[in-house]
Structure 1
Amino acid sequence: MRLLPLSRDGYGPCSAILTISNASCEKHNNSRLGLRSQISKPPPEPKWQSSRASNFIKSSCSTTKYPALCIQSLAAFAPSIQQSPRQLAQTALSVSLDRARATQAFVSKMKKFKGLKKREYEAINDCSEEMNEGVDRLSKSVKELKHMGQANGQDFLWHISNVETWVSAALTDENTCFDGFAGKGLDGKVKASIRGRVINVAQVTSNALSLVNQFASKQ
């Protein structure tokens, strides 16, 4: 199995192609991850409308822990997000879910890597299980937010609390995955190849949780 070099955000090989722009790099990664059709893109819209949507995303992302990554991962979906806090949160969760699924699949494949030490295999296996749980929780959060309709009052608080709890738990799963590789005995290509991907997913998930909290605070 051949390990691919990571990009600047630790999530793909496109940094090896120096002529690719940041936007193209993000497009490449989204395509590589198989970003699902649930994040629909409407036809092109007037520039002034697109500009408002982009500014809304930038403003919302400015309060997250990783604003640059937040903008980079969501900018392509400005036409569908518009200026809707709910759609912004929904899209952020969907992006996080797709990246978590791709990372879980990658980690699972790493268990078949030849020459693994026992400690490395155990760490990868544990990480795979943690990522699998994270994917399950993110999937639940996406469905919960999508199907809560126009809930308000106590009903809204119950639904949004479920979403926040699941996303927070998924973030813990992702961090636990990487913590399993602590120690000098696990340095090297295996750790490095997983590290960048897990960190990227954790950062995207952290941003998604922040945007969900923003949406909840505006209701």
Structure 2
Amino acid sequence: MRKLSLGRASHWRLGLILPNPDSEDKHTRDERNISRSQLDPMVDSGGKSIEDPAASLSGYDDAIQQDPSWLAHIAIVVSLSKARHMEAYVSNLTRQANPRASVALRDYFSNMDNAEDEIDSSLTEMRRLVVLGSEPFKLQMGNLQTWMSAALMEEKTSTDGFEDVVERPLKTAVCKRAMKILKKLTSNALALVNSYEEKVQINQ
């Protein structure tokens, strides 16, 4: 689908900020250079999601804070970055696995590959959103919501195979640490996507 031009007036009418070329570069750097220290603020120290998902991105500049599309965009980037980080982290734990845990890990990696593909598809769609409120835009938002919901479901079921695995450090690391945080991040990203879509609808 060919990308349509976005009018600055329509963004201001919706209360959104259309970045100028300089700020566009800044946003691109925000997406590309998310560091590990920026991945965890979306959940508190106990692994609970922050009640207001937007508050989880409070470390970003005002342009992002005031633009719900960029809040959703960066939240998806964070979710994808964390998913990849967690999969690499769990890969380093596989040598601890007994035969039953090895089967659970195979299922885990299969689910996580699917989740990453769906989040990546969401990010690609978010990068090429067309005219706000248009039929193509509504289709794109539907795709975003479907993919992020599917990714969250894949993450939630990725640890089902561990139900019959004995409680050991490997199970704790995967189920109670890594995935608990990742599911909260993806849930927050989905909430911000839904919030953006609702705000666009309200302002049409």
TM-score by length of 2: 0.70
Structure 1: state its 5+ residue gaps: 1-35, 42-64
Measured after TM superposition, the shift of residue 201 of structure 1 is 0.6
Correspondent of 1:39 among 25, 31, 34: 31
In angstroms, what is the RMSD of aligned CA positions?
2.4
Give matches, 1:79-158, under 5 Å: 79-111=62-94, 113-114=95-96, 116-158=97-139
Task: Describe the shift of the 1:69–1:152 C-alpha distance in structure 2 as closer, same or farther (beyond 3 A).
Answer: closer
Identity of aligned residues (%): 30
Count, aligned residues: 159
Tell me how far 1:218 sits from its aligned partner. 1.2
CA separation in 2, counterparts of 1:121 and 1:92? Answer: 32
Residue 166 (structure 2) pairs with residue 186 (structure 1): yes
Unmatched segments (≥5 aa) in structure 2: 1-27, 34-47
Q: Distance in 2 between the 1:190 and 1:200 partners?
A: 16
Alpha-carbon contact 2:54-2:192 (below 8 Å) kept? no
8 Å CA contact 1:96–1:205 kept in 2: the answer is yes
Alignment correspondent of 1:56: none
* 1:110 and 1:124 in contact (8 A); partners too: no
Q: What is the TM-score when the length of structure 1 is the normalising length?
A: 0.66
Please report how far the alpha carbon of residue 77 of structure 1 lies from its aligned counterpart in structure 2 after TM superposition: 1.6
Q: Following the alignment from structure 2 to structure 1, what is the Cα–Cα distance between the partners of residues 116 and 63?
A: 24
Residue 203 of structure 1: which of 167, 172, 184 is its match? 184
| Change in CA separation of 1:134 and 1:87 when aligned onto 2, cut-off 3 Å | same
Q: How does 1:7-26 map to 2 (within 5 A)?
A: none
* Displacement after TM superposition at 1:141 (Å): 0.2
Of the three residues 153, 169, 187, the one matched with 1:172 is 153
Structure ranking higher on relative contact order (CA contacts 8 Å, 6+ apart): 2
* Alignment partners' CA distance in 1, 2:197 and 2:155: 23
Q: Using a 3 Å threshold, how does the CA distance of structure 1 residues 71 and 147 change in structure 2: closer, same or farther? A: closer
